[in-house]
């Protein structure tokens, strides 16, 4: 269980997230929706502790995440693996090496700097790539892959961290429809087959409806909806997206 209570993030005069409280059981696939600037990315980065909350608490299975420091914090960041819109791969390194970077919290610093990986680590990385249908790309440079392939490499890297949660920040925003489907199918497979909680910021309501068990709607940093996909009525969408739903419904349904 991921338990978030009163989570707030203030930047100078800007309130990015305001008093958000949610409880997410293990194994759910959750979509976060809302307009640009609603606080979606801030929410995920706070969970991972990439940024620090102004107030509020985060607990996972009884452990106070907001109080972790040092090695404990590094281990948490591995367990709450982040996937970004921009992939965050090293373009000139081969795919296998990019995936092995995911095990960096387990590998001594000297070996990481020299890129000295054991046979067991290489086999783990190869297995992750094989699971995602990318084993034939293992020795190619990352920059030679398509956007969808690079995002799936980023997911394989996240799996190397042995995560309990996957936090995906607009993972398909820059992809074409075919690669969007492949990436979302991969995340759904990880969620269902490995029982890993996936929390995903999405730019499309149709994708949220197709893949998520639950939807959280943010507006101006505040929680305005939390419920099952089938409860996304026009009234709810108006609460989440505001006046734009009346003036340009189609663009709102595709934007978050």
Tens-place pLDDT, residues 148-169: 999 999 999 999 988 999 999 9
Structure confidence by residue, pLDDT tens digits, 125-141: 999 999 999 999 999 99
Whether the CB-CB separation of 203 and 253 falls below 8 Å is answered with no
Query: Tokens for 220?
Result: 């101006």
Mean pLDDT of the chain: 89
C-alpha closest to that of 136 among 152, 120, 121: 152
Domain boundaries, the chain: 2-91+167-254
> Of the ranges 44-48, 104-108, 138-142, 174-178, which one carries the lowest mean pLDDT score?
104-108
Structure confidence by residue, pLDDT tens digits, 170-194: 999 889 999 999 999 999 999 999 9
**Which of the four pLDDT bands, split at 50, 70 and 90, describes residue 54?**
very high
Whole-number pLDDT of residue 247: 35
> At 85, phi and psi to the nearest 5?
-60, -35
Pick the CATH number of 2-91+167-254 from 3.40.50.920, 3.40.50.300, 2.40.30.10, 2.40.10.120: 3.40.50.300
C-alpha closest to that of 153 among 131, 171, 129: 129
Residue 50 has, within 13 A of its CA and on its CB side, a CA count of 14
Distance CA(47)–CA(187), nearest Å, equals 19
**Which of the four pLDDT bands, split at 50, 70 and 90, describes residue 243?**
low
pTM: 0.88
**Which residues are CB-contacts of 31 (< 8 A; sequence separation ≥ 6)?**
200, 201, 202, 207, 208, 211, 212, 214, 215, 216, 229
């Amino acid at each position: 269980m991921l338990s978030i209570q009163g989570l707030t993030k203030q930047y100078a005069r800007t309130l990015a997230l305001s008093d958000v409280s949610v409880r997410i059981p293990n194994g759910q696939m959750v979509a976060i929706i809302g307009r640009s600037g609603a606080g979606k990315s801030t929410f995920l980065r706070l969970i991972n502790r990439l940024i620090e909350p102004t107030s509020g608490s985060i607990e996972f299975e009884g452990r106070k995440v907001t109080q972790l420091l040092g090695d404990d914090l590094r281990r948490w960041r591995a367990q709450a693996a982040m996937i970004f819109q921009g992939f965050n791969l090293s373009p000139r390194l081969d795919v296998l090496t990019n995936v092995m970077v995911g095990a960096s919290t387990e590998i001594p610093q000297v070996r990481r700097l020299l890129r000295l990986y054991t046979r067991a680590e290489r086999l783990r990385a190869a297995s992750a790539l094989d699971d995602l249908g990318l084993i034939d790309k293992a020795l190619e440079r990352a920059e030679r892959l398509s956007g969808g392939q690079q995002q799936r490499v980023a997911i394989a890297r996240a799996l190397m961290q042995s995560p309990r949660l996957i936090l995906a920040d607009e993972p398909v925003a820059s992809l074409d429809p075919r690669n969007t489907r492949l990436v979302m199918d991969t995340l759904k497979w990880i969620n269902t087959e490995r029982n890993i909680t996936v929390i995903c910021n999405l730019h499309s309501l149709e994708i949220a409806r197709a893949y998520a068990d639950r939807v959280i709607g943010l507006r101006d940093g505040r929680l305005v909806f939390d419920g099952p996909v089938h409860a996304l009525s026009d009234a709810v969408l108006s609460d989440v997206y505001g006046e734009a739903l009346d003036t340009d419904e189609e663009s709102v349904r595709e934007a978050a």
